[in-house]
Structure 1
Amino acid sequence: MSSLPFSHDQLQGLYRAIYERRDVRSQFLPDPIPVPLLARLLHAAHHAPSVGFMQPWDFIVIDDPAIKSRVKALFDIANSQAAERFADEADDKAALYRRLKLEGILESPINLCITCDRSRGGPTVLGRTSILEMDLFSACLAVQNLWLAARAEGIGIGWVSIFDNEELARTLGLPSHVYPLAYLCIGYVTEFLPEPELQAKGWRQRLPLTELVHSNHWQQKVEDQELLQALEEVRIPAYCQPEEKK
């Protein structure tokens, strides 16, 4: 373990994974994920930071077509209900929602449910005495570790969040104290899109960072001109752009 900064090549890999990570829905290939690779991804997730070192996560690896079909049915029900909630939006927004593909449950070779055991570490956990949700936040960091490691390995991940969570928990046989935090679709892909799919299809655009940074208090403008200029000028590093074909 070194206290020195990463080398240039290491920084390239890190920032490339961050900028090129995508939520994959439509690009999954059926190719199986090699077991050693899957183990590396789970290992990376398990090395996420957690409050009180409680490590609240468990990993349910799902490759049974019957279970995947049951989960897909749960998604279909919830997605139809969600579509109705956009009915009051502009007609183009409602129509766009119905055209969007929001999961790859059956197409991806592996589904993974990352859970949060809210009882792990006992009734009193260091660092969780004031903010009880810190266990959930910790489990989210495991998701991010997995996601970035997967991108570095050329594996796509899609987070499916349109479910009745209680029905999902029953489908996976979870005890009452275990929360199904993230249901992920995992697999090789035909491509990683050059920009987030929802942005490309016009659902939402990335917000300007300069509008999201405050100084000392909420909505107090940043007056440091050097910081403002840096926020405006920062760009995705050149090494994160697709390589030109020779």
Structure 2
Amino acid sequence: MTTAAFSEDFRLDLERLFTWRRDVRHFRREPVAPALLDDLLQASTLAPSVGLSEPWRFILVEDQTRKSAVRKSFETCNARALEGYDGEQAAGYASLKLAGLDDAPHHVAVFCETTPDQGHGLGRATMPETTTWSAVMAIHTFWLAATASGVGLGWVSILDPETVSTILNAEPNWDLVAYLCVGYPTEQADTPELERMGWEKRNPERRQWIRR
């Protein structure tokens, strides 16, 4: 059996891809070509999953009424989150752009079927959360494929999951994992926007490993 071998140039490009994969909040309104968007979503299905269960469920949200309802959920949850800060932190939070819901041409909701028949339960008896983690792996794969094609993703987490599930008429056994804004970014950066805005910075200690 022949194993895949990748060149040094490829490994350097892969490191660049990791570096430039950013959470995008500012989008151009031009849509991504349908064929490309389909290819990116197909790439997400190459992600690993516990027991080969493939528990991810993607909904491409195209109806404007549903989009507006999700936007309302964001506004409600964002206002509630702002109440949790005071003083300079409140001002800092209010200045952040936390979603690209208005400008992003595509919205993709990612759900996890937490107890799928596929996979026959392998690997889930002691760690049932692995189905959710598998869905996150699919999101990350989608994100990397998109970045490699010049397409940006923004993960909107300031939402009420039950509300969004109702808006999108999701199956009862599907749990919302992510609501993604997708489109071409107005600009690209190799550092997180929250770092550029002074909200937080990377911790060098997180780049160290514990050996036991």
Q: Normalising TM by the smaller chain, what interval?
A: over 0.9
Residues 183-224 of structure 1: per-residue CA shift (max 9 Å, x gap): 0000011211231100111111101046642111xxxxxxxx
1:103 matched to 2:99: yes
What is the alpha-carbon distance in structure 2 between the residues aligned to residue 115 and residue 57 of structure 1? 6
1:202 matched to 2:198: yes
CA distance change for structure 1 residues 165 and 127 in 2, over 3 Å: closer, same or farther? same
**1:52-67 mapped onto 2 (5 Å cutoff):** 52-67=51-66
1:141 matched to 2:140: no
Give the corresponding residue for 1:162.
158
The code of the aligned residue for 2:9 comes to D
1:68 matched to 2:67: yes
What fraction of aligned residue pairs are identical, expressed as a percent?
38
Give the corresponding residue for 2:17.
17
What is the alpha-carbon distance in structure 2 between the residues aligned to residue 77 and residue 24 of structure 1? 21
The code of the aligned residue for 1:53 comes to L
Q: TM-score, normalised by structure 2?
A: 0.95
Give the corresponding residue for 1:6.
6
**1:80-119 mapped onto 2 (5 Å cutoff):** 80-87=79-86, 91-119=87-115
Give the corresponding residue for 1:35.
34
CA distance change for structure 1 residues 211 and 40 in 2, over 3 Å: closer, same or farther? closer
CA distance change for structure 1 residues 211 and 20 in 2, over 3 Å: closer, same or farther? closer
SS of the equivalent of 1:31 reads: coil
Following TM superposition, by how much is the alpha carbon of 1:100 offset from its aligned partner in structure 2, in angstroms?
Answer: 0.5
CA distance change for structure 1 residues 212 and 81 in 2, over 3 Å: closer, same or farther? farther
Q: TM-score, normalised by structure 1?
A: 0.82
Count of residue pairs brought into register by the alignment: 212
> Does the Cα contact within 8 Å between 2:52 and 2:118 map onto a contact in 1?
no
SS of the equivalent of 1:157 reads: strand
SS of the equivalent of 1:22 reads: coil
CA distance change for structure 1 residues 154 and 210 in 2, over 3 Å: closer, same or farther? closer
Give the corresponding residue for 1:171.
167
Unpaired stretches in structure 1, ≥5 consecutive residues: 217-246
Residues 85-135 of structure 1: per-residue CA shift (max 9 Å, x gap): 123xxx211110011010011210000011101121269511111001000
Structure having the higher Rg = 1
1:131 matched to 2:127: yes
